Each structure stands twice: as C-alpha cells, then as structure tokens.
Structure 1
Amino acid sequence: MSVNFQDEAEVKEYLSNIGIEYRFGCYSEKKPEVCHLLGDYLESIHRDYEKARKVFRSTCDDYGYAKSCLKYANYTFIGRGKSGSKPNPTEALEYYEKGCKLNDSENCLNAGLLLVSPKMNDRRDFMKGMEYLTKSCDMNNGNACYYLSGMHISGAEGPIRSQETTAPLMSSTEANVKKSNTKAGDYTVEKNMAKAFELTTKACELNNMFACANLAHMYARGEGTEKNKEKAEIYKKKAIALQEEIKNSKQLLFQQTS
C-alpha cells in the first residue's frame, strides 16, 4: 500500500494502522521484536515515554530481549518516562548487565563504563567493568575498544568488589589487569602502549573517529609501534573523513526533523 506523505489524513491513518499492528504482534502474538517496535512507536510517534518505558521493561524482563533492556536502562539512567523519576544509575546498571549477559555489545559497553566510573561510589567494580568492556570490544564494538585503548595509554585503577572474578582478565585483546600496590585501587591497568596500539587499531578499523586520530598520532610519534609518516597521514585522513560523515548525517537528520 502506497502512502501519500503529503496528505496529513492519510499519514495519520497509516501511523494508526502501524500502531494497531504492533499492539497485535506484541500482546496477542507475543513477539518480543514487535514489542520492542511498539516501544519505539510509542516513543517516537506518540512521545508517550511512560508507556514506552513500561513496554521496554516488560519486553526485557519477560522475553529477554536485549535491545529492550538497553532502552529501559537508558530511560532509567536519565530518569525518563516516569513522573517524578530521577536518574537511577544503579537500576540502569542492572538492566545493562541483563543485556550484556544476552550478548549485546552496547549493553556490555554501558555496563562496563558505569562500573569503572568513580561516580558509582560503592557499586564501582573496576575488574568487572573491564570484563564487560573487553567482551564488548571482542564483539567488535569500536567504542569499547577505544575506551580500553585509552586505559592502556594513561593507565587506570579502581576497586574490585565482584566475588565472581578470581583471575586476571584474558581475552583476544589481552587487557593487562592485575593487583595494585597502591591505596587508590585494588586493581590496575598498567600503561602499555603496545596494547594501546593494538586496541586503537581495532577501534579505528571499526570506524571510531577518535581512535583513528589517536592511531595517526601513534604512527607519527612511534608510540606502541614504529614511526611511519605515510600511515600517520592515512589514518589522519580517515579520521577527518569519519568526522565529515558524522557532520553530514547530523545535518541530514536536522533537515528531516525541521
């Protein structure tokens, strides 16, 4: 069925029918992917964040649908969709972890970033956070690889609280986490430019703009690798190209919504 998007009445009917289809697919056929679409529909078309929040939560809890876990966690993190609700990073972490256990890289990334953040206070668990970030990177999440590379560039440390973690983290990225001898934290990531270079390369290959800029500097200065002016220029150009892509996509989105 073709729709004349210049006809307001026809567009309203079209959107109404989509809502009916999503509700049927979710509530009658109990399809988690359709429930998630219903949440997106309520969020983007009706701006009904309270109902969308409920749909995302139930789709995560009842069906174990990772994308809905992520959306509900995001809502909870910023305090969205519930009257009088305040940001709740602790509950957000719970749902990011649920999504991560369902092997969703974005959930793993957000769980990891929360757990290594000093803002989590008593919930901060550096070692567990590193595990989540590494899992996300291993699933080819460029942002996770980038954050891990930064930890190896400068070094980082923090407390360990998880009783599940009993050995240093080992993965394809070989993040070097070990007992700290300082009072600041129980575990530390030592500065290691060779590992930082490995992670930065992977993040850039996954089109992380900031990683490509860092990779250009590494080649230019010979940090973690041998100096190579030609490669430094190649990755500098790639970083600029990715920046232009982001800029153009934002302009297009603005034009579509204005």
Structure 2
Amino acid sequence: MKKSFILIGGLITLGFSANYQTKAMNYFNQGNYKKAIQYYQLSCEKDKNIDSCLITGDLSRNVLKSDKKSLIYYKKACKLNNKIGCAMSGKILYKFNHKQEAKKYYEKACKLNSPKGCNAIGNFYFKGETVNKNLETAFNYYKKACKLNSPEGCNSLANAYEKGLGTKIDLIQARETYAKSCRWGYQKGCDNFNKISQNKKSHK
C-alpha cells in the first residue's frame, strides 16, 4: 500500500537539474521513497535547491526514521536562509538536548520571520534555558510570533497579558489574543479563552 506524507518543504519547483528532479518525482510517485531521497539529496547537495533539502529532511524523518540525517538537510536549507529549515533544525537539536545550538537556529529562524522560531525563542527566555530568565524579552518574542500567526505564540502572549508576565496586566487584550489562538485551531487557546470569558462573567 502506498504511503502518503505531508512534506514540510511544500510544493516542488521545477527548473533545476531536470534529471534529478524527474527521477526523484518518478520514484516518489511509485512509492519508492528511498530512491527518491537519493535524488532529492543530489539536488540539494549539487544544486543547493532549498525545496530538495527540505524534502530530503522530511523523507529522512518519515521514511528512514532518522532525525540525524534529516538534521543534516534541514541545516543545509537553513544555511540557504530558509526559515523552515532553521526552525526544524532547532526542533531536532532541542530534542537531542543540544539546547544552546538549538537556540542559535531558532534565533535565525525568527530573524527570517518563522513563527515557530520566534515562539521557541520566547520559551527559552520565559523558562531561562541557556539564557537568563527575562519575561519582557519573552513577551516581545511571543508578540512577534503571534503577529506572524503562531497560535502557540498567541496563547503565550495572551497568558503574559493575563498574568502580567513581562508586561502590564490587560485582560481585554488577553481575551482577544486567546480568541485569535483559538481561531487558528490551538486547543489550549480555546480552553484559556473559555476560562477567561467565564471569569469575566463571574465578576460582573
């Protein structure tokens, strides 16, 4: 039975090393993912094509079950200034407990306007991991993450508004920001929105 995967790299663009591209796509469509990886890998390494680097990373995780190999190719995508590659590198490095290096990749991801990268850096400062705990800095990163449409970032930002973490307490802003997180499908945002709304009713 043919497997299906959601590739973080998204749609594949044409116009580079047609031989690598055609072979990779043909093998992928046939369900021969290991062969497909070989050609996406060649396209990444020889042509420095970002999509192929991301797809190699995705397939390495999903097919080969190798975070170590996927990290190599996400790092290559990051080196080419791709925010997804940087954020995924940070995620895997954090999983490996290489938090200092993970932070560097998340920082680059955030600079490239990755919502996940900004939210992750906010968490570093909120928890005081590898840095001195700084709630105001965490707040600013959560604010940028939310502006970039991160539901997790909006939930964290709303929590800061609700409890006065790195900013002044603003329950109206907290409620609106929890609602935004909820609209984007984040269950914790929905739960927190319902909770703060109930509290508002009980104080009337």
In the superposition, the TM-score normalised over structure 1's length comes to 0.60
**Structure 1 residue 23: deviation in Å?**
11
Structure 2 vs 1, CA of residues 24 and 92 (structure 1 numbering), >3 Å: closer, same or farther?
closer
CA distance in structure 2 between the aligned counterparts of 1:98 and 1:72, rounded to whole angstroms: 10
CA distance in structure 1 between the aligned counterparts of 2:68 and 2:110, rounded to whole angstroms: 23
Hey, what does 1:70 align to over in structure 2? Answer: 54
Please, which moves more after superposition, 106-115 or 195-204? 106-115
C-alpha distance after superposition, 1:111-141 (max 9, x if no partner): 1222233x36xxx3x3332111100011110
Hey, what does 1:191 align to over in structure 2? Answer: 133
Hey, what does 2:175 align to over in structure 1? Answer: 233
Hey, what does 2:194 align to over in structure 1? Answer: none
1:23/1:38 contact within 8 Å kept: no
What amino acid is the match of 1:129? Answer: A
CA distance in structure 1 between the aligned counterparts of 2:181 and 2:33, rounded to whole angstroms: 36
Counterpart check, 1:51 vs 2:35: yes
Structure 1 gap segments, 5+ residues each: 1-21, 157-187, 245-258
**More helix by proportion, 1 or 2?**
2
C-alpha distance after superposition, 1:182-227 (max 9, x if no partner): xxxxxx2221110110000011111111111111111111111011
In the superposition, the TM-score normalised over structure 2's length comes to 0.75
Counterpart check, 1:135 vs 2:108: yes
Mark the structure with the bigger radius of gyration: 1
Structure 2 vs 1, CA of residues 97 and 214 (structure 1 numbering), >3 Å: closer, same or farther?
same
Counterpart of 1:148 (choices 104, 121, 124) is 121
CA distance in structure 1 between the aligned counterparts of 2:106 and 2:16, rounded to whole angstroms: 37
Structure 2 vs 1, CA of residues 23 and 215 (structure 1 numbering), >3 Å: closer, same or farther?
closer
Percent identity between the aligned chains?
26
CA distance in structure 1 between the aligned counterparts of 2:91 and 2:110, rounded to whole angstroms: 12
Structure 2 vs 1, CA of residues 95 and 25 (structure 1 numbering), >3 Å: closer, same or farther?
closer
Structure 2 vs 1, CA of residues 144 and 67 (structure 1 numbering), >3 Å: closer, same or farther?
same
Counterpart check, 1:111 vs 2:76: no
CA distance in structure 2 between the aligned counterparts of 1:195 and 1:23, rounded to whole angstroms: 42
C-alpha distance after superposition, 1:5-25 (max 9, x if no partner): xxxxxxxxxxxxxxxxx7997
2:17/2:43 contact within 8 Å kept: no
**Structure 1 residue 70: deviation in Å?**
1.4
CA distance in structure 1 between the aligned counterparts of 2:23 and 2:184, rounded to whole angstroms: 32
Counterpart check, 1:101 vs 2:79: yes
Hey, what does 1:208 align to over in structure 2? Answer: 150
Q: Any idea what SS the aligned residue of 2:30 has? A: coil
Structure 2 vs 1, CA of residues 239 and 41 (structure 1 numbering), >3 Å: closer, same or farther?
farther
Hey, what does 1:4 align to over in structure 2? Answer: none
C-alpha distance after superposition, 1:91-130 (max 9, x if no partner): 222222111111111111111222233x36xxx3x33321
Structure 2 vs 1, CA of residues 23 and 203 (structure 1 numbering), >3 Å: closer, same or farther?
closer
Q: Any idea what SS the aligned residue of 2:184 has? A: helix
Find runs of 4+ consecutive structure 1 residues off by over 6 angstroms.
22-25
Structure 2 gap segments, 5+ residues each: 1-13, 187-204
Counterpart of 2:18 (choices 22, 26, 30) is 26
CA distance in structure 2 between the aligned counterparts of 1:233 and 1:153, rounded to whole angstroms: 21
CA RMSD after TM alignment: 2.5
2:17/2:47 contact within 8 Å kept: no
